[in-house]
């Protein structure tokens, strides 16, 4: 498993296909994160909330995500109906779900319900569950839930739901505290990652770097990924 997880924030299904085609040419990429924004929890609205009928047709016709034999798909559910939305993505072939701590009024209940609903039966133990935590949120928000999840995603930007936002250095302290308190749990950071801050994040024990614009806006995406992959995390998953 590579260190880098590319993130895509989409305006259309076509854009998804185009970006996946690019990632398919980068051998180290084995996981892709799809950012899903409902326009209510955060904004602006992204695909597929911007084209719900198209998405429903995909599900109806049992269409699978492209390159399913090539990538593991991780869905970052920046939405208020995250538990319900998760089922559709699992049916399309996703295997990792990220719930945002701030989107739920009762986070332990949400996670328990999602695990009961999707953690067995049809989807078996292949599904992994993660919590994302905003930069301004206290770690106490997720501490009671760590026994219910497989990984943590610390947001590295102040305004989530938009790519290209500046990196917020407060995430360093969050990672430091989490790694010391919970050395066994994988931690990934999403947002604002550059080669400069990536070195420090990896040194602090980050398992994966979730990168959007740092790859997609690079003059050469393949070279950009290779530069990040030269870093090695002892906690890589």
Cα(52)–Cα(43) distance, integer angstroms: 16
In a domain, 155, yes or no: yes
**How many other C-beta atoms are found inside a 10 Å radius of the C-beta of residue 43?**
12
What does the pLDDT read at residue 234? 67
pLDDT digits (tens, 9 = 90+) for 127-165: 999 999 999 999 999 999 999 999 999 999 999 998 899
What does the pLDDT read at residue 121? 52
In a domain, 235, yes or no: no
- CA distances in angstroms from 80 to 3, 50, 90, 143, 170, listed in the order given: 29, 15, 17, 21, 26
- Structure-model confidence comparison of residues 235 and 79, the more confident one: 79
Three-state DSSP class for residue 61: coil
The total domain count for the chain is 1
Q: Are 44 and 3 in contact (CB under 8 A)?
A: no
Q: Over 70: is that where the pLDDT of 47 sits?
A: yes
Q: Over 70: is that where the pLDDT of 81 sits?
A: yes
Mean pLDDT of 65-91: 97
Tell me the β-bridge partners of 9: 35
In a domain, 237, yes or no: no
- The fraction of the chain above a pLDDT of 90, given in percent, is 91
In a domain, 189, yes or no: yes
Confidence of residue 232 (pLDDT cuts 50, 70, 90): confident
129 lies in which domain range? 4-229
The interaxial angle of helices 170-181 and 195-204, nearest 10 deg, is: 20
In a domain, 65, yes or no: yes
What does the pLDDT read at residue 126? 85
pLDDT digits (tens, 9 = 90+) for 164-223: 999 999 999 999 999 999 999 999 999 999 999 999 999 999 999 999 999 999 999 999
What does the pLDDT read at residue 229? 95
pLDDT digits (tens, 9 = 90+) for 54-64: 999 999 999 99
CATH number of the domain where residue 113 is located: 3.20.20.70
In a domain, 98, yes or no: yes
The size of the chain, in residues, is 237
Confidence of residue 224 (pLDDT cuts 50, 70, 90): very high
Mean pLDDT of 4-13: 97
């Amino acid at each position: 498993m590579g260190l880098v997880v590319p993130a895509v924030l989409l305006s259309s299904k076509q854009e998804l296909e185009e970006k996946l085609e690019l990632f398919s040419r980068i051998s180290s990429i084995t996981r892709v994160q799809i950012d899903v924004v409902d326009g209510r929890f955060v904004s602006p609205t992204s695909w597929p909330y911007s084209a719900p009928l198209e998405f429903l047709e995909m599900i109806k016709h049992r269409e699978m995500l492209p390159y399913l034999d090539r990538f593991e798909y991780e869905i970052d559910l920046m939405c208020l109906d995250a538990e319900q939305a998760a089922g559709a993505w699992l049916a399309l072939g996703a295997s990792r779900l990220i719930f945002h701590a701030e989107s739920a009024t009762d986070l332990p209940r949400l996670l328990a319900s999602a695990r009961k609903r999707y953690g067995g039966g049809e989807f078996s133990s292949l599904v992994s569950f993660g919590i994302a935590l905003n930069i301004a949120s206290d770690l106490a928000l997720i501490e009671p839930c760590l026994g219910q999840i497989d990984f943590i995603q610390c947001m590295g930007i102040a305004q989530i739901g938009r790519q290209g936002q500046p990196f917020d250095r407060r995430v360093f302290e969050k990672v430091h505290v989490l790694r010391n308190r919970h050395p066994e749990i994988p931690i990934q950071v999403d947002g604002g990652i550059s080669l400069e801050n990536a070195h420090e994040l990896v040194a602090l024990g980050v398992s994966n770097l979730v990168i959007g614009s740092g790859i997609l806006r690079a003059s050469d995406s393949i070279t950009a990924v290779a530069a990040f992959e030269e870093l090695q995390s002892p906690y890589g998953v």
